[in-house]
Structure 1
């Protein structure tokens, strides 16, 4: 069976080429998906443009849009096990994490249903004989391009606020994980969104370039690699159109000399090994103060070696396969370069030996002793590879932590909260965790600095990001304007 893509309310697949989604735990085919042509993508954009002008959507009151978003959330929850299984079959993450992400996706739709219904314009104090106010309108046709690591939440994080704002969307999921986007298209129609409000296309890089370059696309929201994000930024900048770019990271996770190691060790493991390290937020540079370096590292290595690598459907699995075999090969090349550069492998560094895992894209959780100048400590690996780096004092730490192109997240482990805040304010990053890591909330802003991206998602401003503000001047004077001169 071939999975079709969605344009308006039409599911298309006849006569299209296909590609396969591979289950990375055993190399089996998870799905065969029809690939959108350039003409299909153009049709999807036209469908979205028509939906914007449809009075059924254009003039829909906010409370009714809110009702549709709540219905979408209901359907996500009603299809929870199917959605979780679909994501795990696409990218191999543990089904336990996929189930948690279903709940998170539903929360995005519910939260923005509330923001949609309660959002207001602004009355501006007048500076003359007029009544001044502003209101917010949808930006228009939004192209949403998403990655393969967590489509359940990352696609909901874009769809919910953009729909709440009243836009029409063309969604393109990663070709590695195409199925969740198709499921969201199905649920949108079932929830009652008018045809064309959400269109879902498929394909690889050329599909994305077509979307970004199309003159009828008013905005792009992208989560993915920094190189691709920069290319999108150049195109949108030349077109003078907005873009939200949520890109990569090489985040410092800092263990100070007064840290509670009972908290810091499991915290460091979650930071780098959760979802096999396939997260832009990963705490991949583990800075440890010299006086506790040996004690911390010995505990972290022992705890890492005890992690279970295995089947995504096994409740005891901590490290599931990587999302694709090509991605594993890329990480292995980076590890080989790290060895050449002088990094010491403290644990891991290869494929697990268990015969039961041989057919999957598995990689051992890996810890390296490095310095901050090595390529492995500067480039995003996007896998279960942590670089442990010593530091002397706070100034040494700040110098090293900020010496990187990325600026997405940061973790700080210390009993001294004043010290933590002093450090946090001097580290160039968009997110800071103190004595925790990887907590996120739908009502908190999320995004990075430097090469980690442009713009923020989440919170009530996350809906405003998909809107444009319009100013109104209402004349309150009883006499005409005194013009022309001498009148």
Structure 2
């Protein structure tokens, strides 16, 4: 398939408002649909991070940013959203080439990024500090102040939306941001950085520093000038960041992995459940932290339901992300495709039965790409590694349950607690089970829907903190209490 003529970002990184070639090693970005090289980007170095942090702190402390009123900072966020919307087609095409995702999905992610800036701008204009209840001879209040410099580390699976979800609230709170995109997918983050600097944001408030996590990410996390790190990615990396943050006594936001259950009760709308389950696990080619990768079906439905689910899975269209008919696009990288394939082979070794998929698709259109067929595996217990470890690919494990207590015990028997889906017509069952499941988000008769107004985050090894919602800006702020003495008399203690 021929690619549209999409301008590529130049081989430059953004260091505190200044665009220049990185002094680190060069890295090729690869189109996962055909293995071809898209372009080459020179990475940032530890020195670049240090400069970005120092100059970012100066920019955040400058009266030109520090003294802006909330509605004035909100105007900057709206201008960024305007720029994203003007360049939406290029951003979506660029992300499809860089990540392999379908153009339908990347277009939605770009729209989400613009919407994030607009929501946060609106929230900022109504973000009130608090006059607290008087309990003595003082007038008391609570105010929020900037942290200073925020480190933002984003994953490869949906960079433009993840970028916005960290940059927008951090800027709204008055901070500077040092953003590290994923090593495999830096292009759309660099393009977004160009839009933000062109919007008129004061120089120094944003840096975009591509590079390896072991180099750029490590320095961001441990740098004494970084006052908070917001990370989205794998649990093992998140745990290391939490250890480093503990040494610095620094707040962190960690949005980590998942092994989310999705549940079909006896009274479910079967057609709605099947379509929702397919979307929940196979959209994004399964490369989603909230993918519904463990399917629990009531035993009375299991055989017929799985038969229908398998038939509809086989009908999904696997292809290039730029093909408008594609539903399942290639995985982000050939190395990741090979990792997913190894997980499936281990499932077979554990005794799992592959009902469909379980291999790369055959044919000339697929031979050079990082494709993998949507895969459903049966006959594994919930204790199997395949049902406990995050695969991050288009692989669904089917399990059964006898009753509600059995379901809750199995669903909660996981190190993760990010999301859950429930399919039932009974609102009482939905309420009861939703409250018993260890998950930060529970979808009822839907799946993988998001709103900027609704907090998102995980429990257990799925992370710390929340993004989105009215508390979003506060999460990037330091809270301070002020007491105004009202007594006309000196304090009696001194006599």
2:237 to 220, 228, 231: 228
Partner of 2:439: 429
SS of match in other structure, 1:471: strand
RMSD across aligned C-alpha pairs, in angstroms? 1.0
1:241 aligns with 2:250: yes
SS of match in other structure, 2:79: helix
Task: State the Cα distance separating 1:15 from its structure 2 match.
Answer: 4.8
How far apart are the structure 1 equivalents of 2:24 and 2:385? 42
Deviations 1:325-368 (A, max 9, x none): 11011111111111110000000000001211111000000000
Partner of 1:61: 69
Partner of 1:90: 98
Partner of 1:183: 191
SS of match in other structure, 2:492: coil
User: What is the total number of aligned residue pairs between the two structures?
Assistant: 485
1:52 to 60, 80, 88: 60
1:471 aligns with 2:488: no
SS of match in other structure, 1:462: coil
SS of match in other structure, 1:57: helix
Counting only pairs closer than 5 Å after superposition, residues 255-334 of structure 1 correspond to structure 2 as 255-334=264-343
* TM-score for both structures, normalised by structure 1: 0.98
Which one is further off, 446-455 or 192-201? 192-201
1:170 to 172, 178, 197: 178
Counting only pairs closer than 5 Å after superposition, residues 342-361 of structure 1 correspond to structure 2 as 342-361=351-370
Task: State the Cα distance separating 1:192 from its structure 2 match.
Answer: 1.1
Q: 1:2–1:34: 8 Å Cα contact kept in structure 2?
A: no
Which one is further off, 50-59 or 213-222? 50-59
How far apart are the structure 2 equivalents of 1:179 and 1:59? 33
Task: State the Cα distance separating 1:14 from its structure 2 match.
Answer: 6.2
Counting only pairs closer than 5 Å after superposition, residues 71-90 of structure 1 correspond to structure 2 as 71-90=79-98
Deviations 1:33-63 (A, max 9, x none): 1110111111111111111111101111111
Partner of 1:158: 166
Partner of 1:250: 259
Deviations 1:136-166 (A, max 9, x none): 1112210000000001111111111111111
Which one is further off, 274-283 or 368-377? 368-377
Q: 2:17–2:206: 8 Å Cα contact kept in structure 1?
A: no
Deviations 1:9-30 (A, max 9, x none): 2112165431011110001112
Q: 2:22–2:44: 8 Å Cα contact kept in structure 1?
A: no
Which one is further off, 357-366 or 182-191? 182-191
Task: State the Cα distance separating 1:483 from its structure 2 match.
Answer: 3.4
How far apart are the structure 2 equivalents of 1:175 and 1:257? 45
Deviations 1:249-279 (A, max 9, x none): 0000001111110100011100100100000
| Contiguous gaps of at least 5 residues in structure 1 | none
1:129 aligns with 2:127: no
1:399 aligns with 2:409: yes
SS of match in other structure, 2:295: strand
Task: State the Cα distance separating 1:32 from its structure 2 match.
Answer: 1.0
Task: State the Cα distance separating 1:197 from its structure 2 match.
Answer: 0.7
| Contiguous gaps of at least 5 residues in structure 2 | 1-8
Distance verdict in 2 for CA 1:414–1:55, change over 3 Å: same
How far apart are the structure 2 equivalents of 1:256 and 1:377? 20
How far apart are the structure 2 equivalents of 1:345 and 1:164? 48
Partner of 1:455: 465
How far apart are the structure 1 equivalents of 2:436 and 2:237? 28
How far apart are the structure 1 equivalents of 2:345 and 2:90? 39
Partner of 1:339: 348
How far apart are the structure 1 equivalents of 2:51 and 2:253? 24
How far apart are the structure 2 equivalents of 1:204 and 1:14? 13
1:146 to 154, 159, 168: 154
SS of match in other structure, 1:291: coil
Partner of 1:199: 207
How far apart are the structure 2 equivalents of 1:299 and 1:133? 59
Task: State the Cα distance separating 1:103 from its structure 2 match.
Answer: 0.8
Q: 2:23–2:45: 8 Å Cα contact kept in structure 1?
A: no
Partner of 2:4: none
SS of match in other structure, 2:68: coil
Task: State the Cα distance separating 1:181 from its structure 2 match.
Answer: 1.7
SS of match in other structure, 1:113: helix
Task: State the Cα distance separating 1:124 from its structure 2 match.
Answer: 1.1
How far apart are the structure 1 equivalents of 2:420 and 2:139? 46
1:381 aligns with 2:384: no
Which one is further off, 384-393 or 124-133? 124-133
Task: State the Cα distance separating 1:321 from its structure 2 match.
Answer: 0.2
How far apart are the structure 2 equivalents of 1:204 and 1:296? 44
Task: State the Cα distance separating 1:482 from its structure 2 match.
Answer: 1.8
